[in-house]
Amino acid sequence: QQQVKQSPQSLIVQKGGISIINCAYENTAFDYFPWYQQFPGKGPALLIAIRPDVSEKKEGRFTISFNKSAKQFSLHIMDSQPGDSATYFCAAEGGANNLFFGTGTRLTVIP
């Protein structure tokens, strides 16, 4: 059973465009939602994270939007660059300290 559902599976965006990746969850006990970026052959790197008491968090070109009532959250990458091309994972955690990951979105930013 997939605790966190992520879409799309792959995404192609023009340089300078906005990349949007969506995630949904069912378990209302989740209270911490990080996003990770992974390059081929590397470990996941923490990008940005949010708690459900805020609806939006922005760090540079990366923004998390959170909709608690809909149990959905999304990652927006503004002014996408070729160097952003990677696989992005959303995740959720709810007190047990183990993260439940989405299945990943492979982002390709074309020049």
Contact predicate 99/92, CB 8 Å: yes
| By CB under 8 A, residue 40 contacts another protein | no
- Report helix, strand or coil for 12: strand
46-65 positions binding another protein, by CB under 8 A: 46, 49
What region does 41 belong to: left with phi over 0, alpha with psi -120 to 50, or beta? left
**Closer of 17 and 101 to another protein (Cβ):** 101
| By CB under 8 A, residue 94 contacts another protein | no
| By CB under 8 A, residue 70 contacts another protein | no
| By CB under 8 A, residue 1 contacts another protein | no
10-39 positions binding another protein, by CB under 8 A: 32, 34, 36
Which residues are 108's β-sheet partners? 12
Contact predicate 109/84, CB 8 Å: yes
CA atoms of 72 and 108, how far apart (whole Å)? 23
Tell me the closest approach of the beta carbon of residue 15 to another protein, in angstroms.
25
Q: Binding residues for another protein, per CB under 8 A?
A: 6, 32, 34, 36, 42-46, 49, 89, 93, 96-104
